[in-house]
Amino acid sequence: MKRYFGFILIIQFQKLLNGLLMNPIAAQALLDESTRPRADIYPEGVLLALRGVNFNPGEDPEGIVAIRLWLETNRIISTRS
């Protein structure tokens, strides 16, 4: 995937998150390229940033995959790198 294409996806996803009326700090954390593992509680929901071993076929098994989750009562949004 070209970097340019990834940038376009980030812009589109950022517009989507802004339209969902979610916490702007949590929305930015979902888009960050590198995040440290954490759990943050906000009045609107919970942000989880996790890391794990990369088991994707053809990838370096020693690589780390990051997944970020935004959890609300009726909605879950996830992103990964």
Burial category of 56 from C-beta neighbours within 10 Å (exposed 0-12, middle 13-18, buried 19 and up): exposed
Cβ neighbours for 24, distance < 8 A, ≥ 6 positions apart: 18
pTM for the model stands at 0.70
Higher-confidence position of 20 and 49: 49
pLDDT digits (tens, 9 = 90+) for 39-74: 999 998 999 999 888 887 887 877 888 889 989 888
Q: Where are the domains of the chain?
A: 3-80
AA identity, residue 68: R
Q: What is the b/e burial string over 35-52, where b = at least 16 CB atoms within 10 angstroms of the residue's CB?
A: beeeeeeeeebebebeee
Q: How confident is the model at residue 38 (pLDDT cuts 50, 70, 90)?
A: very high
Note the CATH architecture for domain 3-80: 2-Layer Sandwich (3.30)
Percent over 90 (pLDDT), the chain: 16
Share the mean pLDDT of the chain.
77
